[in-house]
Structure 1
Amino acid sequence: MLLNTPARDTAQQATDFTLPDPDGNLHSLKDLMGANGLLIAFICNHCPYVQAIADRLAEDAKTLKAEGVNTVAIMSNDYSYVPSDAPPFMKRFAEQHGFDFPYLVDQDQSIGQAYGAVCTPDFFGFNRHGELQYRGRLDDAHMGSGEGRTPELVYALRQIAETGQGPEQQHPSMGCSIKWR
């Protein structure tokens, strides 16, 4: 089912978590927060919307990392329902797309639910204080190649890094519904 993300709630604080990557290494919110903020991307392997933006996400995450904004991806889908989203496939997906950020397993789906994630991809941009300032799409290319795109998420997180506040206008992300148990 195709969904759009709701508007951001600037009162939302980043919910603390400790989640494993596909190799079992634990990563916590505290350790992932960058000097200028954190991007949390709820994604999965099988979603055609995620597949269409994965390379651009990896590229944008590298740009943001150089500017003090870290990225983490979280997979909250029920992978007993969608086996191609299981941890071994997550590892392969991350390598295939050049992710240089952790891709974590939310096996009990508690973190996806705590954040109010609704679809893949669903992007949450937090300032250095853990306050939600961006809940929107990656860019304006949608399912296209990304040629001539406007990297809205990068621009928004740069503004957040500089001012602590996100842009007033934010376009919702669009994608496949998260597969809840």
Structure 2
Amino acid sequence: MKNLLKVLAIGTMLAAATVMVGCGGDKKEDPPKKPATTATTQAKTENKAKTPLPPAGPNWKYYYAIKGLEDTHEITPEVQAIVDKLYPKIKLHPDAKGKLTNNTSKLYKKGMIAYDFKGNDETYDSKKRFKDEKGRTFGCLNYWGITVFADPETKKLKEYEFYHYIQDEKNPLGKKIIVESGKL
């Protein structure tokens, strides 16, 4: 009789455990998804219809997230001339395939449009990690940059910066070295 009570007690405990874990209950099915309304579909279609970008320059490409001219400012011939003038001084990483990346956006810096071109330098290593004196981990971030500032209303160029940004073991917080700058 004792053995029978033990077997019943163990069976009851197993049944209770399976119910608590959810191994034997009814599975709730997700309700079927409703198709999108026509207003939602129409809004999505309108969002996709952005003004396409003009072709990239001979020594730069658009940043992958820029979808149309609504996301950036069109590169004027004057800006292209400055990039062409400074480009021969840059030594890019082989992964860059000889092109800078245009990171220009609708954001303003110093109350001006900032046409921003960047490219990893020849010492860039995405796998390289180092720690500063506080123990924070950083990655190697070495790149060349050309930034051209223009007036937002007239699009007239105001100034430019050509710089080399270095973040490595010697400079864990990063250091921006201005190679050339000037007023236009």
Structure with the bigger percentage of strand: 2
Structure index of larger Rg: 2
Q: Which has the higher contact order (CA 8 A, sep 6+)?
A: 1
